[in-house]
Amino acid sequence: MYCALCNFNTLEVEEMDTHMESDEHKSSLLLVDKNFPKEKMLSRFLHERIRMLNKKTEIGKLLWEKKHGVSYKTKDALEGMELPDCLQRMDVVRCPACRSHIPALEWEVQAHLQSVRHASYFQDIQNNHFEKIRHIAMNVLSKHRDNLQYERFKKGEDPFAEEILAAEEGEEQKEKKGEQKRKGIAEVKKVIKKTVKTKEQGGEKGKASEKKGTDDREKEQAGKVGSLEEKKVEEKRVEEKSDLQGGEEKNVDDKDASKQEEFQDCGGSDEYEDEEEADEEDEGEFVQGERLGEDEEEEDGEEGEENFEDLAEEEEEEEEEEEQAEV
């Protein structure tokens, strides 16, 4: 529960009720009346609006307790923890201006209120508090929805009754609306899936037909290209064969022409035959000379062997004569 005018929050309903009747809350409403003198109903509208918002939170709390079967209460932060002897549990007072906690002792609280630090921070908070109240009031007058509620409130109507009823039946309606939304979303998803499938099937068929057409075209082009390449290869082979045949005939003609030229240079067939006979005679003489040379070498070898044997006999005879002389 929260009071936007006084920046007060609590979890207890009783504390919130006492705050709504406190002097602090009344001073905040007086600030609204002073700053907006023409809007005499504005402070009361803001007061009732805060009550309505707190009641909605209280209803939500009760519904949560019914749903879960557990009381919505604050748990002890130190539950299950044993404090050591050096620590002592005690009540404290929080100062929102100074953002500090003070022990719940009279002299400690009085000393804090009379301190210079608290006085300076409290003055800053008062200035910010005034700006915040002014901002809240301006939002009520400027926003369309809030302004409609304020106009109804000025006419004596209760603009917050519908919201309270909606809060009381809120969870059941929310669940029903949630189920309806889920069903609608599921149906929409099914329709979308069906449309997507049909589109995909149509797209796949179109793609398949396109692929077939492209494949056929590629095959035709490949056949044309292959036939052209085969024709070119055959033409090249024919040209190469014709070139080879022409080259062989040219070589044969050249050889015959060269032979004829040599024959003419030799002076006819008789002279050519005489030269061949002369060449054969020279070869026969060369062979006979080689044979004679071989025979002479054999004879010389035999004579040398005989001379070597004679020398060896003479040396043996001389050695025998020397041995006889020594004896």
Could you report the per-residue pLDDT of 46-87, keeping only the tens digit for each? 999 999 888 888 888 888 888 888 777 777 777 778 888 888
Confidence of residue 111 (pLDDT cuts 50, 70, 90): very high
Integer Cα distance of 219 and 232 in angstroms: 20
More confident residue, 187 or 305: 187
Q: Is the pTM of this model over 0.85?
A: no
In angstroms, the CA 247 to CA 250 distance is: 5
Euclidean distance between CA atoms 238 and 5, whole angstroms:
108
Read out DSSP for 55-124?
A: HHHHHHHHHHHHHH-S---PPPTTTT-PPPTT-----EEEETTTTEEEES-HHHHHHHHTSHHHHHHHHH
Per-residue confidence band for 114, with pLDDT thresholds at 50, 70 and 90? very high
Q: Please, are residues 45 and 140 in contact by the beta-carbon 8 Å criterion?
A: yes
Asked whether residue 91 carries a pLDDT value surpassing 70, the answer given is: yes
Confidence of residue 269 (pLDDT cuts 50, 70, 90): very low
How far from each other are the two terminal CA atoms of the chain, in whole angstroms?
166
User: Of 60, 57, 46, 43, whose CA–CA distance to 4 is shortest?
Assistant: 46
151 vs 143: CA distance, rounded Å: 12
- Of residues 260 and 220, the one with the higher pLDDT is 220
Rounded to 5°, angle at Cα 55 from 62 and 154: 155
Q: Alpha-carbon distance 2 to 9, whole Å?
A: 4
CA distance 44 to 41: 5
CA separation for the pair 239, 247 (Å, rounded): 12
Strand ranges, E, within 172-314: none
The answer to whether 30 and 152 have CB atoms below 8 angstroms apart is no
**Cβ atoms of residues 168 and 177 within 8 Å:** no
At 81, phi and psi to the nearest 5? -115, 130
pLDDT score recorded for residue 249 = 58
pLDDT tens column, 188-218: 888 888 788 777 776 666 666 676 667 777 7
